[in-house]
Chain A
Amino acid sequence: MAARPNASERLRRMLAVVPWILAHPGVTIGDLARRFGIPEREIERDLEILPMCGLPPYTPDRLIEVDLVDDRVRIRMAEYLDRPLRFTAAEGFAILAAGRALLAVPGSDAEGPLVDALAKLARVLGPVEGLTVEMGTIGQSDDTISTLQEAVAARRQLEIGYYSFGRDVETVRVVDPWAVHSAGGEWYLAAWCHQAGDERLFRVDRIRSVHSTGGTFPAPDVVPAADTFRAGADDPRVEMLLAEDDRWVVESYPVLETDVVADGRIRVVLAVSGQAWFERLALRLGPRSEIVAPDEMIGIARAAAARVLARYGVEETT
């Protein structure tokens, strides 16, 4: 648990916990701790302060009464706290967006309690249908996400046909699916890839086919965090000088190094996760940007440009 919360944090919780106790007299400390995710010790500590609070002149008939008997709590003389504080803008947005996001997951129950709960929230937050969360394209079939989720839950080994965007090839791999998640607006499958002999993240919209191998696998020790891209230690690096027009590169990809050089261009170093990925990036760079090093990457970029030019009947010697 983090450091002890300050007075403001304690007040925030208390303004939510007291109304619940008032509505559920005799609730146990343990239940409160589970329900609100607050350690029992801290709830007890806050409840010890409450009997010193109330209204002037702070005589016994005006102070909040807290009865704690056999771990069961009752509160009286706090009618003014019988409802929680309204949502802040950020809270209202966050809970609604979380709900709308979960409903956008393929296979979610379009008539279940979440839908009803969001309709009730709309009573205080206003019309919610304009808040749209798209979790990512799901590729070949609506069922892919649920098929993968089921395989994760059952620890079922899969054979997937995967289009590697970075290398521009389709491959078939056997994987142990660990987790399915959405990040940065795309769905990912985190899995152990038997071909690579390493953990891999697969974009779900690039999974072209899914078949069960019939095998199962043991639970992984640690499921990798839901991040989208980690520079592989073995990935080659490329150094580039970007003109202002190509600032999008810095905004779109995780850069390992970045600084502004004398002529106003931005020097960046990126990890190259695949040749085709780099070719696309290089061909999109404007005329004032430059690939600095290594020579291998300069060569790859020029060869890619020549290959595309060949389609237009233009021969370039590189």
Chain B
Amino acid sequence: MTIDRFERLTNLVAVMLATRRPLTLDEVTERVPGYPEALESRRRQFERDKETLRELGVPITLAVTDHLGGTGDVAYRILPGEYYLPDLELTADERTALAAAVTAVHIQEGQGREALWKLGGGGDTGTPRLAALPTVAALPRLFEAYRLRAVASFRYRNEDRRVEPWAIVFRRGHWYAIGFDQVRGAQRSFRADRVEGAVDVGPPGRFERPADFDPQTALRDQPWSFGGDAAIEALVLIDDTHAQSIVAQLGEEAVVERRADGVVVRLAVTNREAFRSFVLGFLDRAEVLSPDELRDDLVEWLRIRCAGPGSPA
């Protein structure tokens, strides 16, 4: 009689969870019905099952047996301390609130629903879908590194990075990991969707987040201040049609002068491309007042666009 795979997997979890010592391949497949006789196919099937359990998040510990003069066989078990989710003592209201959040905010391909199962589900809360946040492959591992205070290693813009993640932030449609880049020796932000390949999470507890670190302000909406250009101070007149929103974005401290026709703001520019892009976003509703260098740069840029048929060049 063939044994249902669901049945075999359930027995496998039970046996590996209830055992007091690690079990070798032979011992596991002897205790769990449904594995083939022949060693090779038995091993292959066990490997497949083990992989399935790992994908579900079942922590399987490896040990090398050395009892009785030991042959050095690999042995497996599930450590109860690593398997069980502690009782969070959620109230019914709290469980419903989490269920509502998971329904309202779609994220990571619905993984939140599976988390919810482990907390006892929650049923249909009738909450309308309120938001969809992008799914990014690197995010769970970056978050893991953040919460374990472990160094995350990954490829980013063709460089290997080692980062102590201090925060994971979603802003303006993108997920960022912000933290200390050990390679650069400075605080950096990384767009999670630009991480190339897998994220390696190092041993836990390797750093402390600085007490004065504030994730809200760490990621500034001022691209012109991210860059390697020599710092230069620019004054820009923004017409009154856009004055209110620009002051909201930059803060009152950026305001140099309020005039009848608009507001003059001061920007510290270290990235000229980003600055030009920012100013052009206002079309003819903004004007670089000073310095001449940045004015000229903008004029030259636009002249190229004006010349030639449809294109510059």
Contacts and interface: CB of A to CB of B under 8 A. Distances in A.
A120 B101 contact: no
Contact of B6 (A46, A92, A135): A46
B88 A124 contact: yes
A91 B313 contact: no
Interface in A270-293: 276, 279-280, 282-285, 287-293
Interface string B129-148: 11111100001110110111
Contact of B306 (A56, A180, A305): A305
A269 interface: no
A37 B117 CA distance: 9
Contacts, number: 334
Interface in B59-113: 59, 80, 82-91, 93-98, 100-102, 104-105, 107-108, 110-113
Contact of A312 (B144, B299, B313): B299
B216 interface: yes
Q: How large is the interface on A (under 10, 10 to 19, 20 to 34, 35 or more residues)?
A: 35 or more
Contacts of A295: 310
Contacts of A155: none
A96 B108 CA distance: 11
Contacts of B306: 302, 305-306, 309, 316, 318
Nearest to A306: B306
Interface string B297-312: 0110111111001111
A113 B146 contact: no
A215 interface: no
Contact of B123 (A34, A49, A112, A205): A34
Instruction: Please provide the 10 A-B residue pairs with the shortest distance between their CB atoms, ordered closest to farther.
Output: A290-B311, A185-B173, A88-B57, A117-B94, A35-B121, A91-B115, A298-B310, A182-B131, A7-B5, A94-B112
Given A14-B6, A305-B306, 10 more contacts: A15-B13, A34-B123, A36-B117, A92-B115, A94-B107, A127-B147, A134-B170, A288-B312, A305-B305, A318-B306
19 contacts: A8-B56, A78-B14, A84-B118, A86-B82, A87-B57, A89-B144, A95-B98, A97-B170, A98-B105, A98-B112, A102-B130, A113-B96, A131-B146, A179-B128, A280-B283, A284-B280, A290-B312, A298-B309, A301-B310
Interface of A: 7-8, 10-17, 20, 34-37, 46, 49-50, 52-56, 58, 78, 80-81, 83-99, 101-102, 105, 112-114, 116-117, 120-121, 123-136, 168, 179-186, 205, 226, 241, 276, 279-280, 282-285, 287-293, 295, 298, 301-302, 304-312, 314, 316, 318
